[in-house]
């Protein structure tokens, strides 16, 4: 790499992601301790997850099922035979001085994640392991803290590691890859995938090489990426740092670098360990995993419709755009809500407009989600129907939606209470129309002389006379009739 001299345009970035996903099982990977976030420190522990001498691990069947389902959803090949290995290293958050993981026989290989552009990022493997505990530094950083505390509640939580091939070529693609993985995991319900609680974590391997080259450059692993945004920013920063190194004729060092959110930079943490440093060997306390075909095919039938299939169906059956379908399917709960509104109103397009428009707006303003809102799909559908059958105008509906979503009120009640119903009584509307025509002879004359704009003015006058209550479609119809 050091011989490559050139402008940034002459290099391309090569990125691979290692994503850790905590599985949403009731208990830990090899013991009966509860798997939960946020409990008081060291309250969810036992001799097994603390690595006490003589304790024996037993694999959690649900974790194996969840990992296999994740693999199936991503098109991976599931190994009917695999085993657990010990990865040996010393670090205070690892009470046994080794982590139970999978080395040469992971549960799945292959598979891929498809990005919105249609590009497929292939997966190397997904393996099952246990999470470590958590070091809690007393100060703001290791260097500044007088002491470090260790919380072992997380030690032994089932964790899957999803490793991609180095086929991602920009920060944006990395974020898209993560978003799709997150959507798939939340759809199949194997994890709550909350980056801020650490149940979804990501390390990025980044390197650069001359554009079009086949050989990979020296890679750097970036850790401490706590949000989609920090993944993108860190990758962008690192690519630029490497390009600057190349320009200056410096050698890029293979190392692990930490991302610092505050300064927006990466810093050297340690030179990268090689696999043989870990002295992997099969865990003698655990039997190998043998999954029968019958079990695997049963799990396959239990998979729900996945985001990609839903998007295709929304475009095909509901006539939505790719973009709208993408937004509506990014969370399973949102997609379920939308489909319920579409079914109850019989109007998928309007349902999509409301979900992505005014419903979203009022929820964002109140800092609520669909799950925490009191409004239910049937109420949103009822509001759509009130507009469709002419009871209220679209404008009035926008005034009603907040009470529906935030307070859980019935749209018809809000309409009655605020007197928002339109006048669709033909006689009453005709009276307003005639009154407006009589009072605006000039506009009538200019319309007849070919000035289309005068028509809208007259519509406005009728609406004003009716104090906004006249059914605007009826007004238009009657005006055309009278002026025709
Ligand atoms: Zn335990």
Q: If you measure from the C-alpha of residue 63 to the centroid of ligand 1, how many angstroms do you get, rounded to a whole number?
A: 15
**What is the pLDDT at residue 346?**
96
464 vs 454: CA distance, rounded Å: 15
Q: If you measure from the C-alpha of residue 94 to the centroid of ligand 1, how many angstroms do you get, rounded to a whole number?
A: 13
Q: If you measure from the C-alpha of residue 95 to the centroid of ligand 1, how many angstroms do you get, rounded to a whole number?
A: 11
CATH fold, domain 426-483, is Arc Repressor Mutant, subunit A (1.10.10)
* DSSP code, position 423: B
Angle in degrees, 0-180, between the axes of helices 426-439 and 441-448, rounded to the nearest 10: 90
pLDDT above 70 covers a percentage of the chain that reads 96
Is the pLDDT confidence value at 72 over 70? yes
pLDDT above 90 covers a percentage of the chain that reads 80
Is the pLDDT confidence value at 3 over 60? no
Is the pLDDT confidence value at 5 over 60? no
56 vs 52: CA distance, rounded Å: 9
Q: If you measure from the C-alpha of residue 31 to the centroid of ligand 1, how many angstroms do you get, rounded to a whole number?
A: 5
Q: If you measure from the C-alpha of residue 36 to the centroid of ligand 1, how many angstroms do you get, rounded to a whole number?
A: 12
For 291, other C-beta atoms within 10 Å of its C-beta total 17
Q: If you measure from the C-alpha of residue 190 to the centroid of ligand 1, how many angstroms do you get, rounded to a whole number?
A: 20
Mean pLDDT, the chain, integer: 92
Q: If you measure from the C-alpha of residue 48 to the centroid of ligand 1, how many angstroms do you get, rounded to a whole number?
A: 5
Is the pLDDT confidence value at 219 over 90? yes
Can you say whether residue 198 is alpha, beta or left, with left for phi > 0 and alpha for psi between -120 and 50 degrees?
Answer: left
Is the pLDDT confidence value at 232 over 70? yes
Q: If you measure from the C-alpha of residue 40 to the centroid of ligand 1, how many angstroms do you get, rounded to a whole number?
A: 15
Q: Per-residue pLDDT averaged across 194-207, rounded?
A: 94
132 vs 155: CA distance, rounded Å: 4
Q: If you measure from the C-alpha of residue 145 to the centroid of ligand 1, how many angstroms do you get, rounded to a whole number?
A: 29
Specify the pairing of strand 200-210 against strand 220-225.
Answer: antiparallel
Q: If you measure from the C-alpha of residue 28 to the centroid of ligand 1, how many angstroms do you get, rounded to a whole number?
A: 7
Q: If you measure from the C-alpha of residue 295 to the centroid of ligand 1, how many angstroms do you get, rounded to a whole number?
A: 27
Q: If you measure from the C-alpha of residue 395 to the centroid of ligand 1, how many angstroms do you get, rounded to a whole number?
A: 58
**What is the pLDDT at residue 273?**
59
Is the pLDDT confidence value at 259 over 50? yes
**What is the pLDDT at residue 260?**
93
Q: If you measure from the C-alpha of residue 34 to the centroid of ligand 1, how many angstroms do you get, rounded to a whole number?
A: 8
The residue ranges of every structural domain in the chain are 8-295, 305-418, 426-483
Model confidence, pTM: 0.81
What tokens were used for 226? 């706590």
pLDDT band at residue 146, thresholds of 50, 70 and 90? confident
Q: If you measure from the C-alpha of residue 90 to the centroid of ligand 1, how many angstroms do you get, rounded to a whole number?
A: 20
Is the pLDDT confidence value at 348 over 80? yes
Q: Per-residue pLDDT averaged across 127-151, rounded?
A: 84
Q: If you measure from the C-alpha of residue 157 to the centroid of ligand 1, how many angstroms do you get, rounded to a whole number?
A: 9
Residues for the chain: how many in total? Answer: 484
**What is the pLDDT at residue 276?**
66
What tokens were used for 223? 């850790």
Q: Per-residue pLDDT averaged across 112-117, rounded?
A: 93
Q: If you measure from the C-alpha of residue 29 to the centroid of ligand 1, how many angstroms do you get, rounded to a whole number?
A: 9
Q: If you measure from the C-alpha of residue 160 to the centroid of ligand 1, how many angstroms do you get, rounded to a whole number?
A: 18
Is the pLDDT confidence value at 9 over 60? no
Q: Per-residue pLDDT averaged across 427-440, rounded?
A: 91
Instruction: Give φ, ψ of 341 to 5 degrees.
Output: -65, -45
Q: If you measure from the C-alpha of residue 134 to the centroid of ligand 1, how many angstroms do you get, rounded to a whole number?
A: 15
**What is the pLDDT at residue 10?**
84
């Amino acid at each position: 790499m050091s011989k490559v001299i050139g402008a940034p345009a002459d290099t391309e970035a090569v990125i691979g992601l290692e994503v850790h996903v905590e599985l949403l099982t009731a208990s830990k990977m090899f013991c009966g301790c509860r798997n939960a976030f946020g409990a008081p420190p060291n309250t969810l522990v036992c001799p097994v997850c603390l690595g006490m001498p003589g304790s024996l691990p037993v694999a959690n069947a649900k974790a194996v099922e969840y990992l296999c389902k994740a693999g199936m959803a991503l098109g991976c090949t599931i190994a009917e035979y695999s085993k657990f290995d010990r990865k040996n290293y010393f670090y205070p958050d690892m009470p046994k001085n080794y982590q139970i993981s999978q080395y040469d026989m992971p549960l799945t290989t292959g598979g891929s994640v498809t990005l919105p552009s249609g590009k497929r990022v292939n997966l190397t493997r997904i393996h099952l392991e246990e999470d470590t505990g958590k070091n809690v530094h007393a100060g703001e950083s290791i260097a500044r803290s007088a002491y470090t505390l260790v919380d072992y509640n997380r030690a032994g939580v089932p964790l899957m590691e999803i490793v991609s091939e180095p086929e991602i070529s920009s920060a944006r693609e990395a974020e898209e890859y993560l978003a799709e993985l997150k959507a798939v995991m939340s759809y199949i319900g194997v994890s709550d995938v909350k980056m801020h609680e650490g149940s979804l974590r990501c390390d990025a391997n980044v390197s650069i090489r001359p554009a079009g080259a086949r050989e990979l450059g020296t890679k750097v692993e970036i850790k401490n990426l706590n949000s989609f945004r920090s993944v993108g920013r860190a990758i962008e920063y690192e690519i630029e740092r490497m390009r600057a190194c190349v320009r200056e004729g410096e050698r890029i060092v293979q190392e692990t670098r930490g991302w610092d959110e505050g300064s927006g930079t990466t810093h050297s943490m340690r030179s990268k360990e090689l696999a043989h440093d870990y002295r992997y060997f099969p865990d003698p306390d655990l039997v190998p995993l043998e999954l029968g075909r019958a079990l695997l095919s049963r799990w396959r039938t239990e998979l729900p419709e996945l985001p990609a299939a839903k998007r295709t169906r929304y475009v095909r059956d509901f006539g939505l755009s790719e973009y709208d379908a993408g937004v509506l399917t990014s969370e399973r709960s949102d997609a379920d809500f939308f489909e319920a509104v579409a079914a109850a109103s019989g109007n998928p397009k309007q349902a999509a407009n409301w979900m992505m428009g005014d419903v979203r707006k009022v929820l964002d303003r109140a800092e609520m989600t669909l799950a925490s809102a009191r409004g239910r799909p049937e109420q949103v559908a009822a509001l759509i129907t009130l507009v469709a059958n002419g009871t209220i105008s679209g404008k009035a509906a926008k005034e009603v939606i907040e009470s529906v979503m935030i307070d859980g009120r019935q749209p018809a009640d809000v309409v009655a209470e605020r007197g928002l119903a339109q006048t669709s009584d033909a006689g009453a509307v005709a009276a307003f129309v005639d009154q407006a025509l009589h009072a605006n002879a000039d506009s009538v004359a200019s319309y007849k002389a070919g000035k289309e704009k005068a028509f809208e003015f007259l519509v406005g006058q009728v609406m004003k006379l009716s104090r906004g209550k006249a059914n605007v479609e009826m007004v238009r119809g009657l005006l055309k009739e009278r002026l025709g």
